[in-house]
Chains A and B, each alone.
Chain A
């Protein structure tokens, strides 16, 4: 929170200014812990995927969520963002109970996610993908888009959005593929597009589901740089990742999930030396 208002470098500042268009609220995390998850539980058939997970994510932090295969990481993400409804437990975001809310309601409140396998909208161009993201667009009302007089309002807003979209495209260095259909992008480019698109929803917090899977080292470095820059602007990140080194080197706080429960949490150093964690990883799967 404290460092949210400090501009970091030029590129980031540009985005930040762009982000403050007439429709944008900027980062508004008022809570020390914007995301609180308590006793989250979900079972499918007879299998309990998430079994009373409880944790919280600190404002402006880059928090990692790790765990062996089948620990319930993806399910936890889906439960937090409303993709599936929990059997029990609560999710609180910025002080508001959002348990069981629909995904769009969660996104409207400033928490947006990316998907493990990048889900670009393949028959839409990169630009269309990006233009989709901003919240509460006037033209999303059918009558405004269709009726002759009021369509000018929509046009005006589209022009503002477009400027911002191009700024974000520049920030992520994907401006050269802007006209391309998203389905034609390489895997890494899709990941960039997804993150850029998520950012355009003007969130306070981003949930990234394995953002580096299938991404080559050069791009990985670039993505990480972007994440750090954004974090310094005040965005909060929760990150699911398989690559241990990556988590250990970049996150200041790590949550370890095992069998649907939080096994332990702490700084990367704490985690590294934790016997239980080592055992979970060795015992669970190898």
Chain B
């Protein structure tokens, strides 16, 4: 038995060790390179601070949007490729509201509703911002969440529900169809130009060793809203009956059905919670970065998938952690590699996780 154990362990090591070894060497090299840069003054602490902050913000958006994706992934058992376009839809609906409230009387209503399509009106000109037009922003957040809930329920009712039992791949392919239909419908309505949406928000500079890290009002807004919503979802899933039912369904749908959990109602709740968070994430993403285009959600989607897989499908903590890791990776990778590859770096992290631990960091802890 001793020999056998040694043998099988040796086999395992032969497979796993080189991986761990290579990863370790790479990590050490990157760290060494960074430290060297700091010592020689090529890299500044403040630069790193700014990148970390940037990554954190990005990570919050990804994490917030990732919760919804992770929930539908585990409860409905399919990778929803239209999720990215829900984000965009939420952003457009919310920003339409914000423009309307902030610019009423100052610009043509049509131009405002269409979020200044074709350069008809600019968010900067309207002075939009959390501190300058707080009501318009808050109303925008609410509408973004509400509209995305309605959208995801409507899509579910008409498109996903009839083929719910067909298996994950059928649903996945269908969701790609939904994604394209939605995205180009939005392009048809709102145009294809990327518009600036906010006026420059006030910011404070934090002194850090050799420079300043700027944090603006919209960063803070994102931080507060995202953490608040994350905490809310945590409480909802931990403390309520609904949360328990969702966790049960993510574990085993058939069993859940047998034990009398009203699965259709849980599905609807999933879309409501997921859709709401996704829409708000879309709005906050635009508030934070200050520009809006019809491709924004789609471009974010792959990073969100990366985050969700990294964290482990079905785990909301996994989605949040994964979001932060992916966000930080995408932002900080420019310390070592050209910025054109920043996004690629995030995907590489995902692929490495799939190799090393395909079930994700928080595996086996469904929706909790």
Which residues of A are in contact with B by a Cβ distance under 8 Å? 38-39, 85-86, 88-90, 97, 99-100
Is the Cβ of A85 less than 8 Å from the Cβ of B1?
Answer: no
Instruction: Let me know if B8 is at the binding interface, CB within 8 A.
Output: yes
Interface centre among B4, B5, B7 (most CB of A within 10 A): B4
Contacts of B11 in A (CB 8 A): 100
A-B contact pairs, 21 of them (CB 8 A): A38-B1, A38-B4, A39-B1, A39-B4, A85-B8, A86-B8, A88-B1, A88-B4, A88-B5, A88-B8, A89-B1, A89-B4, A90-B1, A90-B4, A97-B4, A97-B7, A99-B4, A99-B7, A99-B8, A100-B8, A100-B11
Proximity string of chain B (1-22) to chain A, C-beta cutoff 8 Å, 1 when within and 0 when not: 1001101100100000000000
Chain A nearest CB from B362 CB (Å) reads 16
Contacts of A89 in B (CB 8 A): 1, 4
Q: Kindly state the separation between the CA atoms of A99 and B12 in the bound complex, as whole angstroms.
A: 13
Q: Kindly state the separation between the CA atoms of A86 and B4 in the bound complex, as whole angstroms.
A: 10
Contacts of B7 in A (CB 8 A): 97, 99
4 additional contacts, CB 8 Å, given A90-B1, A90-B4? A85-B8, A88-B8, A99-B7, A100-B11
Contacts of A86 in B (CB 8 A): 8
Q: Kindly state the separation between the CA atoms of A97 and B1 in the bound complex, as whole angstroms.
A: 12
Q: Kindly state the separation between the CA atoms of A24 and B5 in the bound complex, as whole angstroms.
A: 35
Considering the complex, which residues of chain B in the window 1-57 have a beta carbon less than 8 Å from any beta carbon of chain A? 1, 4-5, 7-8, 11
Task: Describe A's contact surface by its main secondary structure.
Answer: strand
Contacts of B8 in A (CB 8 A): 85-86, 88, 99-100
- What are the 10 A-B residue pairs with the smallest beta carbon separation, nearest first? A90-B4, A39-B1, A100-B8, A88-B5, A99-B4, A89-B4, A100-B11, A99-B8, A88-B1, A88-B4
Which residues of B are in contact with A by a Cβ distance under 8 Å? 1, 4-5, 7-8, 11
Q: Kindly state the separation between the CA atoms of A97 and B7 in the bound complex, as whole angstroms.
A: 11
Closest to B11 in A: A100
Q: Kindly state the separation between the CA atoms of A97 and B6 in the bound complex, as whole angstroms.
A: 13
Closest to A100 in B: B8
Q: Kindly state the separation between the CA atoms of A88 and B5 in the bound complex, as whole angstroms.
A: 6
Contacts of A39 in B (CB 8 A): 1, 4
Contacts of A85 in B (CB 8 A): 8
Closest to B8 in A: A100
Q: Kindly state the separation between the CA atoms of A88 and B8 in the bound complex, as whole angstroms.
A: 8
Q: Kindly state the separation between the CA atoms of A25 and B230 in the bound complex, as whole angstroms.
A: 64
Closest to A87 in B: B8
Q: Kindly state the separation between the CA atoms of A89 and B8 in the bound complex, as whole angstroms.
A: 9
Q: Kindly state the separation between the CA atoms of A85 and B4 in the bound complex, as whole angstroms.
A: 13
Q: Kindly state the separation between the CA atoms of A249 and B5 in the bound complex, as whole angstroms.
A: 38
Contacts of A88 in B (CB 8 A): 1, 4-5, 8
Chain B nearest CB from A28 CB (Å) reads 25
Q: Kindly state the separation between the CA atoms of A100 and B5 in the bound complex, as whole angstroms.
A: 11
Interface centre among A38, A85, A88 (most CB of B within 10 A): A88
Chain B nearest CB from A55 CB (Å) reads 15
Q: Kindly state the separation between the CA atoms of A100 and B11 in the bound complex, as whole angstroms.
A: 9
Chain B nearest CB from A106 CB (Å) reads 15
Q: Kindly state the separation between the CA atoms of A88 and B12 in the bound complex, as whole angstroms.
A: 12
Q: Kindly state the separation between the CA atoms of A70 and B193 in the bound complex, as whole angstroms.
A: 62
Q: Kindly state the separation between the CA atoms of A39 and B2 in the bound complex, as whole angstroms.
A: 11
Q: Kindly state the separation between the CA atoms of A118 and B264 in the bound complex, as whole angstroms.
A: 32
Chain A nearest CB from B194 CB (Å) reads 47
Q: Kindly state the separation between the CA atoms of A39 and B4 in the bound complex, as whole angstroms.
A: 10
Contacts of A97 in B (CB 8 A): 4, 7
Closest to A86 in B: B8
Q: Kindly state the separation between the CA atoms of A136 and B7 in the bound complex, as whole angstroms.
A: 28
Chain B nearest CB from A43 CB (Å) reads 14
Contacts of B1 in A (CB 8 A): 38-39, 88-90
Q: Kindly state the separation between the CA atoms of A39 and B1 in the bound complex, as whole angstroms.
A: 7
Chain B nearest CB from A78 CB (Å) reads 16
Contacts of A38 in B (CB 8 A): 1, 4
Q: Kindly state the separation between the CA atoms of A246 and B260 in the bound complex, as whole angstroms.
A: 39
Q: Kindly state the separation between the CA atoms of A99 and B4 in the bound complex, as whole angstroms.
A: 8
Chain A nearest CB from B170 CB (Å) reads 16
Q: Kindly state the separation between the CA atoms of A42 and B38 in the bound complex, as whole angstroms.
A: 50
Chain A nearest CB from B251 CB (Å) reads 13
Q: Kindly state the separation between the CA atoms of A201 and B1 in the bound complex, as whole angstroms.
A: 31
Q: Kindly state the separation between the CA atoms of A39 and B3 in the bound complex, as whole angstroms.
A: 12
Chain A nearest CB from B10 CB (Å) reads 11
Q: Kindly state the separation between the CA atoms of A275 and B291 in the bound complex, as whole angstroms.
A: 78
Chain B nearest CB from A161 CB (Å) reads 33
Q: Kindly state the separation between the CA atoms of A94 and B8 in the bound complex, as whole angstroms.
A: 20
Contacts of A90 in B (CB 8 A): 1, 4
Q: Kindly state the separation between the CA atoms of A238 and B227 in the bound complex, as whole angstroms.
A: 58
Q: Kindly state the separation between the CA atoms of A88 and B11 in the bound complex, as whole angstroms.
A: 13
Contacts of B5 in A (CB 8 A): 88
Chain B nearest CB from A90 CB (Å) reads 4
Q: Kindly state the separation between the CA atoms of A64 and B310 in the bound complex, as whole angstroms.
A: 45
Contacts of A100 in B (CB 8 A): 8, 11
Contacts of A99 in B (CB 8 A): 4, 7-8
Chain B nearest CB from A101 CB (Å) reads 10
Chain A nearest CB from B8 CB (Å) reads 5
Chain A nearest CB from B5 CB (Å) reads 6
Q: Kindly state the separation between the CA atoms of A30 and B1 in the bound complex, as whole angstroms.
A: 24
Q: Kindly state the separation between the CA atoms of A86 and B11 in the bound complex, as whole angstroms.
A: 12
Q: Kindly state the separation between the CA atoms of A103 and B364 in the bound complex, as whole angstroms.
A: 26
Chain B nearest CB from A118 CB (Å) reads 20
Q: Kindly state the separation between the CA atoms of A99 and B11 in the bound complex, as whole angstroms.
A: 11
Q: Kindly state the separation between the CA atoms of A99 and B1 in the bound complex, as whole angstroms.
A: 12
Q: Kindly state the separation between the CA atoms of A177 and B44 in the bound complex, as whole angstroms.
A: 76
